[in-house]
Amino acid sequence: MKKFFALLLTIGISLSLVACNTENSSAEKKETTSSSQKTDKKQEKEAKSKDNDATEDVEGLGKVTIVGVGYNDEIGIDGTDDPLKPIKLGSAKLTIEQLHIVDIDPTDDAKQLYFNDEDKVRAVVIDMKAENTSKKDVMFHPNQSVLVTDSGEQLESDMMLMGEAGGDFLGKVTKEGQTWWILKNKSKVIKNIKMIISPPTDNQTLEDIGEEKRLNFQILDYEAALKKDKK
């Protein structure tokens, strides 16, 4: 859980800086950046000391509460410290590092910039790393994967919070980042999420390289996830 909150702190600081940049002069930007970096370090320490706490105040984002954690033995997210298991899709290699469902009480800036002025937000957040193992140029978009929940929602990733783990891979390139899918229903309990990942395509021929991959994630609530991770 520590790593997840540390990554959220990073993205939260980025969102905070974006909001400030739309309002401040260039002189004020410097001061805001310096202040935000100090806040980032302080909050990261706090997150590390409270890994049993499901809620954190994330600078530039708001109050974030983990309500679900995803597990999939095939890719190595199994509650152990064993290495993660990348999956192959043609010439691409994809590592899913973690999947969480979070509730957010966003800041005013985050509401306006990213959450359509919603007072409450529930989202699926996935951290991933994508690699092209071929010298050929390919297009690969795991950050645009479709998610299907057992609560009846089919989700596309949020364009503003899509992360960098996708796009054109011009030869042997690696990209990683955090991608968000915003849930419409903020109250239904989710116990399973299916992630549908399209294969890469050849930049020259536009033909698929490999086959579509579907991953099923078991979702545990925060307390159950803590118990599983400590086994």
Residue range(s) defining the domain that contains residue 223 = 54-230
Does residue 35 lie in a domain region? no
Q: Which two tokens stand for residue 109?
A: 């800036």
Mark residue 199 as left, alpha or beta (left: phi above 0; alpha: psi -120 to 50; beta: remaining): beta
pLDDT bracket for residue 95 (50, 70, 90):
very high
User: What's 147's domain CATH number?
Assistant: 2.60.40
Judge whether 102 lies within some domain. yes
pLDDT in tens, 136-168: 999 999 999 999 999 999 999 999 899 999 999
* Stretch (H or E) spanning 160: none
Separation CA 66–CA 36 (nearest Å): 23
Task: Identify whether 44 is part of a domain.
Answer: no
Residue 129 lies in a domain: yes
Residue 33 has a pLDDT of 44
pLDDT tens profile 67-82: 999 999 999 999 999 9
101 in a structural domain: yes
Confidence of residue 60 (pLDDT cuts 50, 70, 90): confident
Domain-located, residue 182: yes
Dist. CA 34–CA 173, nearest whole Å? 32
Gap between the Cα atoms of 105 and 84, Å rounded: 31
- Residues contacting 35, CB < 8 A, separation 6+: none
The pTM score is 0.81
Residue 36 falls within a domain, yes or no?
no
* Kind and range of the H or E run holding 214: strand 213-220
Per the structure, the count of domains in the chain is 1
Domain assignment present for 112: yes
Give the sign of the dihedral formed by CA 227, CA 130, CA 176, CA 142.
negative
Q: DSSP strand E in 76-210: where?
A: 87-89, 92-106, 121-132, 137-140, 146-149, 154-155, 167-170, 174-182, 192-197, 201-202
Q: Is 22 helix (H, G, I), strand (E, B) or coil?
A: coil
